[in-house]
């Protein structure tokens, strides 16, 4: 069984490597039309929701609690976002550790097992850490266990392209034997690993 708590912690640790390397917050990233600053804003936004949702709040309830914070987030600079990230790490980690994986959580598309939300958030953190690194011209590795787990997740969760508004179509040519699992996972989210790091 995949230890998603450990892998979520490893995905969080990627930001210890990637955030200090960001010198150009306006740099293009693999996410269509997003800059490095906008990628990190998305990541911080996603993390802000975790404690409230894991505490049993509905999406509407947590949105109400976060209204002022999300308004400030929209205006935050890159360094502001780094500061927000560091304040979120501990409460988010505590929320994951303190919530049974077989509980259910309210998400935008309905109720789902906590372990699904945890896997989804781990995937999101890993992919966007790579987005940030390559926006600065550096290729960030994830580590073998996280590589395999993220690939397994996207193969299952994105097999029928359930959210075409969130991801471009898969990039062909990354499903064959010998393709690194990280590259295969990124390609399934519409990212072309061969086109990055950006020069």
pLDDT digits (tens, 9 = 90+) for 124-145: 999 999 999 999 999 999 999 9
pLDDT digits (tens, 9 = 90+) for 15-43: 999 999 999 999 999 987 899 999 999 99
Q: Where are the alpha helices (DSSP H) in the chain?
A: 4-18, 36-54, 59-74, 78-97, 114-135, 144-157, 181-188
How far, rounded to the nearest angstrom, does the alpha carbon of residue 145 sit from its chain's CA centroid? 16
Nearest to 54 by CA among 112, 105, 90: 105
pLDDT digits (tens, 9 = 90+) for 158-170: 765 444 456 778 8
How far is residue 33 from each of residues 8, 28, 81, 184, 190, measured CA to CA in Å?
A: 27, 7, 19, 22, 13
Does residue 198 carry a pLDDT above 60? no
Does residue 68 carry a pLDDT above 90? yes
Q: What is the pTM of this model?
A: 0.94
pLDDT at position 10, please?
98
How far is residue 132 from each of residues 21, 25, 37, 85, measured CA to CA in Å?
A: 9, 9, 9, 14
pLDDT at position 15, please?
98
pLDDT band, residue 175 (cuts 50/70/90): confident
Q: Are the beta carbons of 158 and 135 closer than 8 angstroms?
A: no
Q: Which is more confident, 175 or 89? A: 89
Cα radius of gyration rounded to whole Å, the chain = 16
């Amino acid at each position: 069984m995949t230890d998603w708590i450990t892998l979520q912690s490893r995905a969080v640790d990627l930001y210890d490597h990637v955030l200090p390397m960001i010198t150009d917050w306006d740099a293009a990233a693999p996410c269509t039309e997003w800059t490095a600053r906008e990628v990190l804003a998305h990541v911080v936004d996603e993390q802000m929701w975790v404690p409230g949702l894991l505490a049993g709040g509905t999406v509407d309830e947590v949105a109400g609690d976060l209204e002022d914070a999300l308004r400030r987030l929209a205006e935050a600079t890159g360094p502001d976002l780094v500061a927000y990230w560091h304040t979120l790490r501990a409460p988010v980690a505590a929320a994951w550790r303190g919530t049974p994986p077989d509980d259910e959580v309210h998400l935008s598309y309905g109720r789902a097992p906590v372990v699904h939300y945890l896997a989804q958030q781990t995937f999101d953190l890993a992919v966007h850490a790579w987005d940030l690194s390559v926006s600065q011209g550096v290729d960030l590795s994830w580590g073998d266990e996280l590589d395999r787990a993220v690939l397994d997740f996207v193969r299952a969760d994105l097999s029928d392209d359930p959210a075409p508004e969130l991801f471009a179509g898969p990039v062909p040519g990354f499903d064959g034997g010998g393709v690194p699992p990280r590259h295969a996972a990124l390609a399934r989210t519409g990212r072309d690993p061969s086109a990055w790091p950006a020069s």
